[in-house]
Chains A and B, each alone.
Chain A
Amino acid sequence: MILKKIHYILLIVILLSGCSTSNQQMDSHQYKNLVFSCMPTQLFRCEPNQSACMTIPIAQTFDSVAITVDLSEKKIRSFSKNTLLSELTIESIQSAKQLIYLNGKGIGFDDDFRVWSTIINRVNKQFYSSSITTEAGYITYGECHESN
């Protein structure tokens, strides 16, 4: 009788651990084909010799900028209408607790070298991106919508 109970308990534990493993695998695989469409909403520029970061208004004078995060292609692109403005190559992708961490570096279309990292929060549908060039650091906030 006791052996039977132990057997059932072990069975339940095995089943539960199997489910848990399956969930983790889903989580790690699920994001790989995701595409996020994002809109920047806030931008800050920081310089070492400044006491505070400068708020850069997103003027949209010459059309708004849309950002696409394509995890299958490992690219972050920005567009103005249909014109490609910038393209970043994602070097690493990690995820945990509905947060996706992206990192990369390289010379952009503007000839500036930048190191950057971006976090996408799938729960509140927001992104936070920081980048550093030789002159300044930038923080960009935005809203994201995802699609497979």
Chain B
Amino acid sequence: MVNVMSLIKKTFKTNHYLIYLLLFIFLVSTNISHAENKTLIRSVDFSQQPDGDARAWLLERGYLLKLDADEFDLKFKNGQLNIKTSDSKASLFVLKLKPENYIANVSSIEMEWGVIKHPDGANWEEGNNRVALAFMFFFGTEKISSGLPFQINSAPYFISPFIGSKEQKGKTYTGKLYKKGGRYICVATTNGSNKLIKSNIEVNPEYMNLFNKDKIPPITGIAFQMNTSDTEGGAHAFIQKLNFYSSK
């Protein structure tokens, strides 16, 4: 070991470089061990679903179909939940978890999904905040202002990853509503194809710092939305799988 150290010292000549090397090794090993500790704690998986109507399946499992959701085409096809509309409408599919089903200690969420057609005119960079497909993960039970009068539509803190088209991948956007409690993150961009996209978001204090929270509350609700309001041509997107991981 002494020989190795002296060799390293000779190679780098100064302790300065040695410290950098050791720090690098430490960081790499920490990341490897972190990745190894990742445990799947919850999954929403449509990959085994037979082809057919998905509306009844979602309702049976407690999903609330909100806004114009009843007017959207919902089908299982090729192990994917397909959501489609040819109109300018908004849909929201919400699963409020029962307290015994809250998902605590989530460190990352993986999404397997895709967009077949983006709504024409959707562009978060220019303020038309519409999406072919976005998830919403709600944290805790405290209701945060939506910005609407009388606090109508207040909701818990949420992060909302979405697949963009004209948006910047990796950019966090603030919407016109939920400025205090909601953040929309463009996790992938595509021009629209059948391509399956695998996205990952880290649920860490950095994200929650957006909401001035030190401790991350459990996930208490999951939602997905398609919003083609103020756009043309409709939209078509799909979800295959959603995995929640804990680092503990």
Residue ranges of A at the interface with B (Cβ–Cβ < 8 Å): 40, 43, 45, 54, 56-62, 65, 67, 76, 78, 80, 83, 85-86, 108-112, 114, 116, 129, 131, 133, 135-136, 138, 140
Residue ranges of B at the interface with A (Cβ–Cβ < 8 Å): 64, 66-68, 90, 92, 94, 96, 143, 145, 147-156, 176-177, 180, 221, 223, 229-230
Distance of A141 from chain B, by nearest CB (Å): 11
Would you call B67 and A62 a contact (CB within 8 A)? no
> A123 to B85, alpha carbons, bound, how many Å?
42
Seed contacts A60-B66, A110-B145, A116-B149; 8 additional CB < 8 Å A-B pairs: A45-B176, A57-B68, A58-B152, A59-B92, A65-B150, A65-B153, A67-B150, A110-B151
> A26 to B11, alpha carbons, bound, how many Å?
98
Contacts of A62 in B (CB 8 A): 96, 143, 153-156, 221
Q: DSSP majority for the A interface? A: strand
Would you call B151 and A86 a contact (CB within 8 A)? yes
Would you call B94 and A61 a contact (CB within 8 A)? yes
> A109 to B150, alpha carbons, bound, how many Å?
10
Distance of A104 from chain B, by nearest CB (Å): 12
25 of the cross-chain contacts (CB-CB < 8 Å) are A40-B150, A45-B176, A54-B230, A56-B177, A57-B67, A58-B152, A58-B153, A59-B66, A60-B66, A60-B153, A61-B64, A61-B153, A61-B155, A62-B155, A65-B151, A85-B154, A86-B149, A108-B145, A110-B147, A110-B180, A112-B147, A129-B149, A129-B150, A136-B176, A138-B149
Contacts of A45 in B (CB 8 A): 148, 176
Contacts of B92 in A (CB 8 A): 59, 61
> A138 to B229, alpha carbons, bound, how many Å?
18
> A131 to B148, alpha carbons, bound, how many Å?
10
Would you call B156 and A65 a contact (CB within 8 A)? no
Would you call B67 and A138 a contact (CB within 8 A)? no
Known: A80-B143, A85-B143. A140 touches B150 (CB 8 A): yes
CB contact between A78 and one of B64, B151, B177, B223 (< 8 Å): that residue:
B151
Would you call A78 and B153 a contact (CB within 8 A)? no
Contacts of A85 in B (CB 8 A): 143, 145, 150-151, 154
Q: Which B residue's beta carbon lies closest to that of A131? A: B149
Contacts of A86 in B (CB 8 A): 149-151
> A60 to B229, alpha carbons, bound, how many Å?
19
Q: Which A residue's beta carbon lies closest to that of B156? A: A62
Q: Which A residue's beta carbon lies closest to that of B66? A: A59
Distance of B129 from chain A, by nearest CB (Å): 11
Known: A59-B66, A59-B92, A61-B64. A114 touches B151 (CB 8 A): no
> A60 to B67, alpha carbons, bound, how many Å?
10
Contacts of A76 in B (CB 8 A): 150
Contacts of B153 in A (CB 8 A): 56, 58-62, 65
Distance of A133 from chain B, by nearest CB (Å): 8
Q: Which B residue's beta carbon lies closest to that of A58? A: B152
Distance of B173 from chain A, by nearest CB (Å): 16
Distance of A15 from chain B, by nearest CB (Å): 46
